[in-house]
């Protein structure tokens, strides 16, 4: 797992405070991506669209679709994939 912040820096910890509907949407997006990693990513937005979470599943088969900065960091995690 990698969490990226501004300027693609890797964060070690974040706190997510979601409404029930946002939690349901995030959960559904993760389930879809876990079973269909070729879909690459989903965006989960707040109701007012001022806040967004982008969630991705990365594999050896789809890592080429990621931004080059992300690929460099994610590549190390794929050894067991």
What's 60's DSSP letter?
Answer: T
28-54 confidence digits (pLDDT tens): 999 999 999 999 899 999 999 999 999
Domains in the chain, number:
1
Structure-token pair, residue 61: 């088969």
Asked if residue 63 lies in contact with residue 74, where contact means CB atoms within 8 angstroms, the answer is yes
Write down the pLDDT at residue 11. 94
Q: Is there a domain that residue 52 lies in?
A: yes
- CA distance linking residue 62 with residue 58, whole number of Å: 6
Rounded CA separation 81/59 (Å): 7
What is the residue range of 50's domain? 16-80
Q: Residue 8: its pLDDT value, please?
A: 86
Give kind and range of the element (H or E) at residue 23: helix 20-35
User: What's the whole-number mean pLDDT along residues 13-18?
Assistant: 95
Whether 51 is covered by a domain: the verdict is yes
């Amino acid at each position: 797992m990698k969490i990226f912040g501004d300027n693609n820096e890797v964060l070690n910890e974040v706190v997510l405070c979601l409404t029930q509907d946002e939690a349901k949407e995030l959960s559904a997006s993760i389930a879809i991506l876990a079973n269909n990693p070729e879909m690459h990513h989903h965006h989960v937005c707040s109701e007012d669209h001022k806040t967004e979470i982008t969630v991705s599943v990365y594999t050896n088969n789809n890592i080429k679709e990621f931004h080059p900065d992300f690929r460099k960091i994610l590549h190390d995690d794929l050894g067991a994939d």
